[in-house]
Structure 1
Amino acid sequence: MTTEPDRDALVGRRGELQLLEQALRLTRSTGADGRARIVSVGGEPWIGKTRLLAELAGLAGAEGWRVAVGRAGRTGPGTPFELVVDALDDRLGSGEVELPTPLALRLGRVFPALGGAGAAVAPGDEYWLIRAVRSALELLADGPGLLLVLDDAHRADPLTLELLDHLVRHPPRGRLLTVLAHRDSPAANRLAVLRGTDGGQPWQHLELGPLAAHEAGALLGPELDPVDRQVLLRDAAGVPGLLRACAATGPEREPVGSFELATAPPAPGGGPVALDFGPLSGPAWRTAWAAATLGGAVTPQPVAEVAGLPLSQVLLSIDELQAEALLRPEPDGPGFRFRHPAVRALLLRGGRAGWQYGAAGRALSALRRTGAPAGLLAAQLERAPSLGPADRQLLLAGATADLHRAPAAAVRRLRRWAAGPGAPAEQAEQALGLGQALTLAGRGEEALTVYARARAADGGRAPAGGPAAEAESSALRGLGRWAAARELLAAAEDVELAWAALALEVGDPVGGRTAAQWAEHGYVRAVRSGDPAAQAHALALLAAAHAVDERFAEAAEVAGAAAEQLAGQELPLHRLESVRWLTDAEFYLGRRHRAEALLGRTFEAVLDTGQWQLLGRTALGLSRARWEAGDLAGAADRAVLAVAAGRRFDSPPLAVDALLWHSRIRLAGRDLPGAHRAAAAAGREAAGLGRLWQRRVAETLRILGAVPAPTVAVPAGRPGGAGPAGLTDAQLADAGLADAGPTDIVRAAAGPGPTQVPTPEPAPGPGLAELSRREVQVAGLVSEGCTNQQIAGRMGVSAKTVETYLSRIFRKLGIVSRAQVAHLVGLDDRLRRGPGADGPGPDGSGAHGAGPGGPAPRIGGNPWSGP
């Protein structure tokens, strides 16, 4: 896998590099009798300290500086002045500076190039050697100047630390810049003390933080799947060295959430781990492998049992691992855990298979003895060679405990359990749990197969209700099979919230009630059962339903109540979908900041838990938030992720939504050909989804200025989402659409082997048919040049309500300015003709819709299924 376009290119860190360059300039400007300077660079392992210092060394060398680079601790402690000797030995031995004989003799005791053998330094000689090294630094700093780079200074031997202490208190003369790099671990405490020492030498400290997402993304190849890219960025957490190591091992066949990464065994396979863990001792390596095998937060005694080491040795090894910033203490309890879950996974994937095989059994025994949570015990049983009755019950308990925290792990455990004996009723019950887990993991088609088998084994009966029926209906909705979802819910009980979600997506009443009515009934049931998460979910659905009905005051009140229940606590993992509906309402109300904050929390929760079913919709919501903030690049990035998630996680409707939205983003960026190509890709995705989807594609093409073909082709027997749908220019070129015009793209969207289906007459104008009567009235007044206050006065509403209408107009039409509204109004002959049967005029009179077929709807006529 290509992990970086140019390994030698420095990614990010421009500000830090400029500060280091400034330190070079200040040091050079002091003159031969000036004071030396020190800069320290700290940060977690693999954050890029060494790479940054290498860049500085290259710049200094190009400017004529003498550059000396040393690194500590590669062979263990014990060598006097090891860090400084590693940096200066070649320089002193080259003869480029003439050392006085007494100085050379004294330095020759520790510098191999001067005859030294690294012998121990007697206590009485330490001070004189420190003074001698300081004198050598002054000689090397004479003339062009000396850049002394000391890497991994947290491993510095005691004499090197004493030398640094001396240099701080007695700065050498000349152009000397010393740059230290160290990990942010307890081993660097002495350096932190030295920074605060009063002395004559200026000391500046830089702390390197994680790279921004766009900077880290530049290290990954462009061909990487957007979902895999997002998972790699999550695993690396902005640490470039860790990102390279994760990418080098290749992505998991199926992505996993952070919780599973920290607790469950990784997929088999792997190779050498491309990470510098430091000069760890043998016991420290065994301790690290044991901690990784146990998973989660570990305490010393179980680690000692798994590692096969005495407890005292494990305690020393934990100190060693903490000194290298690999383990860190739990903030809220006893024990330690790996700083990044990905480090644990890399250790296990690249470790010794034979040792791990034996360690797994020891880990299970240790976890049983300490009363570990069911999830950790089940993780050890997933690959156990045999299972007893008690083990199978542990697998079930672990699957239940981690159903919403790690659904993919729950799938593995339930399938392992099902491979053994079990009563038919018990097998059917666990099959429903397996269907829930598959649905959450974004494997809707597999889930429906499991549900069908469970139904067949139970005499053809549908789930009685509750979570199983909600999960199955969610899988059906994700696949765009609303009729099947309606049939399922009609036979189930206590599924009011699922009915409300279906009604919102369809855009019409279902089951004899509106979305608002279903949500109200669901809220009453949730209150009676005392389920706060279900209450928040019901309120979110109700807020969305009120917003769709343009009952903005009620929507704002209900949305506030839902947000209050979700604020200040962890999001309910079994009701994460509630955020989708709540943020839809917030967008309708013009409260982008509140929506984006909630979506950001949900996005992190999805990545942590691996509930991939929700990844695409959440990414699409974030794209919409970035759009409304004027960040087209951020909007496009999230839209591309939503497209990939829709394709990968069994949701062709989501892929269509995201592609159409992406086409509007490209249009806003004045990339009309790219907008047409994205819409064409949506057409190919929609080819097997039915007429409503194809009408929506046609409406988007009208907004883009294309003229739809007189008929829409519906391929017979073609499954939803099938076909070579593409997004990038290269993929569209492969499909023969790189140079296609609007009409060609519309025809290509139909796909081969069509059955011709008449379509409604196209709505007049380039897309105003999507607007409601009041929105058309606002658009007309905008085109007349009215301000928001003037529009509010003429319509008898508040200026805030006008802002809400404008936000909805911008969103529906894919535009960003009032001038674009006026332009589209000028193109729409409904407004030029005035009120009539074809549609409303500027005063709001006339029927809603346009033409005999009415406006081309969104998914099911509902704008809530996507931006």
Structure 2
Amino acid sequence: MNSRDTLPSGEGSETALTGAAPLVGRRDALRSFTRTVEATLTGGFQFLAVVGEPGAGKTRLLAELATLAGGRGLTTLWGRAAEFEQIMPFSALIDALDDHLEAHRDELSERLGAGQARQLATVFPALAAKMPEPPDGAEVDDQSGMVRYRLYRALRQLIDEMAGPAGLALILDDVHWADDSSAEFLDHLVRHPPRGKVLVTVAYRPAQVTPRLASLVMSAGGHGRQVTVGPLNQAEVEEFLGPRVNRTRGRALYEASGGNPFYLEALARMSRLDVSELPPTVRAALQVELGDLSPGSLLVAQAAAVTADEFEPALAAVTAQVSEATALDALNELVGRDIVRPAAAGRFRFRHPLVRRAAYESSAAGWQLAAHARLAAHLASLGAPATVQAHHFEQSGSFGDQRAVATLVEAARAVAAQAPVTCAHWLRKALDLMPEEPGTLEERMELLLELSRAQGVSGRLAEGRDTARELLRLLPEDDHTRRARAARICALMERQLDRPHEARALLLDELRRMPDPRAAAAIPLRMRLVAESMMRVDFRAAQAVLDLMPDSGDDWEPDLAMAVAALRPMPAYAAGRMEEALRSADAADRLITTALDEHLAEWLDAVAWLCWAETNMGRYSVALRHFERAAAVARSTGQTYILTNLLAGKARTLTVLGRLPEALATVEESVEGARLLESGQQLVFALTQLCMGSVWTGDHDAGLRAGEEAVQAGVGGGEAWGDMARQALGVALVAAGRLEEGIEAVLDACAGFEQPRLDRGTLIACCELLAHAEAARGRSDEAAGWAERAASLSHPHLPVFSGLIPLARAHALRASDPAAAALLAGQAAVLLAAGERRVDAGRALLVAGLAHGEAGERRPARERLREATEAFHACGARGLEAQATRELRRLGVRVSAAGSPTQGGPGAAPYGLSPRELEIATLVAEGLTNQLIAEQLFLSVRTVETHLSHVFAKLGVGSRVGVATKLNRNP
């Protein structure tokens, strides 16, 4: 039933007088447990939080839950975090799953696929033990924090696979001690729940838990429940103590313990003391309990507390400096006194974390230092991974201890990708042990740079900024090149913290330090100033700085010229100098295309501006090519704060191009990365694109949620990206039929068209949307006014947006002259398709079909609506496809349930599946995992998952087995 040989009994599970006792009270909790298990079996994923103070009886209740879940057929796995190992990545998950993985390693590895298994092997020792090296070139090295996101997806898939048809109950105790990576994963899991019958239960102390963990139940929505474990009342205490304890002593014990079961148990063990002699705290009671041990057993208990939460006797013997036989004899007494309890595979555990803490604190500080040092040396002699040794070197390392420094740095680099918080912690400890002297200066500066990056990637942006400033203090005043690089990093983090004024002040201060402000070393700082000005929509200031910068210099590296070129198109475009903007974009495109990846890596923040400029100018294919390459470089070099922005831009481009499933998969990664980064700016960028992508796929609720969260984030005031969020929310409101609110939001985003910060193409799109909304409200004159405003914003060098103008005019004319409106909409469709704005082209075809129908022109109406249906289907715009399908049915065209006209021919895919969906569904029916399908079709796993969700919806099934059954039945 459990991954361990025995279920932990834990806090308050036994009395001192009677041994194992039945559960006392807790009827409400047990009823909630029963409902949660039943909900898991009938409705799928459930998240349960069991919350209570130390010793309240959470672990005892979890044992009841495990018994209940196991009795209903769920595979039940149990793990817990530990106080002294809380920096170790994923410790609670490893404790819960590793033994099970070892027993089912080959089977699970085959079902997961090689790529997913390799990712999981970075976490679980059971998978790492026999994991072959990947073939050369099989995987791209990813140093960004997004490794965590893909790892979390792999963990989610692992949990689904382990659940199988019977279901899984994953119980994690003491998660208030869980590391940040575990907390991030749980947050990811409740927002992207497994598909199978999975119950995830966590137990924690409310006063010690982080806000992220405390909010998990709320994040889980309807899938989340919380059980609060309070103290026992006096009657329950009497039942707990049993008849051996008289009423007077029982009342005193109740008052001293406050009804806390663990405190009550600890105090009751002190049977040799009178009630009046009871100590005021349970710590004293535990110290008395430990004081009754023989000296040898107490020494082994103290050594075990140093060793690990679940310890091996041999390691405890080394730590205590006794023979293994002596340690085993001592363990006999410790088990007999219920200080420790047997765990799995010859290991032992303290009966409660508080007992371990008491044992640790009962030893002298000097002895603790030496014990950690002995254990560290022994683990090193065994060749244990640096990550296993690091905790003990951290506790025992002395100032200037090079071995401790080297081990901590090695451990930090080993976990940098999947656990950057732990990486940063160990790097900081290493720096604390490293003397500040000339001989260590270079190494120290290198470690500070790594530390700043780890802090930034893990969302500790303020700490990363402070570390970068510390690096600036160490760098010599005349080391202008490295100082400029550090200042750029620091300014980028200030920007992510929504502190643009501080970023600008830092850059100007560094420029003033330079004797020659026009030297090559000053160019990176000036470029960052240009970017800061453009973020503030102060394109005149940006252009003024650019005008002072040549295109190249004799002392410039080739990549510097490329970076300056990448910044030039956006200010020219914003100022309406379209020929110059296009010419600059072509020049930058040539330089970037021929540049090496390592050159791009240094200047990705500049390259990102070119990518966005190309999208704004409607150069979608070129923009997509640059977004994809820049994102790949950002991954391989760990630049997460730029990667999330690049992914948001890529998603925006894919949405316009009508590649909506890919857009949603891309933007989901951007949103997750921004949340991990804890950058409000990047989260708003990502949520804005999630809003737009969701709207055009027809998921208006998801679009509204994303748009509202982006606007309510409260960042980006006075900058274009804040307006982009309001504009996206306006689109979502109009699409959801909330026209008046939508119009107000769009006008707010456009600043009433008086001094708008949005780019020209977006403003034209806003005019078309406003024309559509006003026409829908029966206000044709207002719609016509917006159409003319759109025309006034057009530019001959931006033809991709020209189709929006006749579309806006068609909206205005539909009520009075539907035939003319149909012709205009038809013209719009041709222009928009030529500009690769495929969703908008489909919308124009839909308007043309509706207008032809209103004019009584049934044949062209059917033709345009059929074309619209096909366009929307190809884009993945399910909501618009459904609307076009309804209109076709009104005109007498027979349409299948999936939305494809029956005239589609004998070769049409079953159930309305697209060719790609049918391809994926067929591979699912053949038993391939998502990972294997992704590898076979050269797709991302997330793209496969997105297609598969569409397959489930169209087939009306909820599992992979259902897909196979449906396809096998199809003639």
Q: Which TM-score tier does this pair reach, normalised by the shorter chain?
A: 0.3 to 0.5
State the TM-score, normalizing by the size of structure 1: 0.46
The structure in which a higher percent of residues are helix is: 2
State the TM-score, normalizing by the size of structure 2: 0.42
